[in-house]
Amino acid sequence: MKEGVIDVLMYIFSSYADQNDNLPEDRDGIDADLRAAGFDPLEIDKAFDWLDGLAQDDDIPSVAQSLHSTRIFSTEESVRLDQHAQGFLLFLEQSGVLTPKLRELVINRVMALDDNSEVDIEELKWVVMMVLFNSAEDHDENTLMHYEDIVFADQPTLFH
């Protein structure tokens, strides 16, 4: 199986996000499950490193910004996130799904992905959901389910 870090992360998230009772109790158990599913041990290790970085979100400073502020992406960020992806992040922020701090964490986690290639919109959606679920103490389950509907919707959500 030729899979990358994002594929391992998506597998972990989709397999374990809603199964707190079925989650292996330690990293070794998850590692064994991933190896049994056919993932490369090196990619598994990189995925765990990525998740460790996600857990250390204190490195992202709180961003105080006015409602009229615009986030300017660096050249490196623009290589990873095309205009469509940048627009999607702006949509999520304007919709109240992402705070400026969570937006920065999403960008940080995209930049931390192993591959330097462009992150497509579907991969970005998975990163957004992983960040949101990691910050679950700020959200109740219904809010997270609503955000999941917005993030994975094929059409933009209309707000009334």
pLDDT of residue 148: 76
Q: Structure pTM? A: 0.80
Is 60 exceeded by the pLDDT of residue 159? no
Is 70 exceeded by the pLDDT of residue 3? yes
pLDDT of residue 114: 74
Is 70 exceeded by the pLDDT of residue 121? yes
Q: Residue with structure tokens 């931390």?
A: 112
pLDDT of residue 107: 94
C-alpha distances (whole Å) from 124 to each of 17, 31, 83, 98 are 17, 24, 13, 13
pLDDT category at 127 given cuts 50, 70, 90 is very high
* Tokens, residue 99: 């705070």
The C-alpha atoms of residue 73 and residue 158 are separated, in whole angstroms, by 26
Is 50 exceeded by the pLDDT of residue 21? no
Identify each DSSP E strand in the chain by its residue range: none
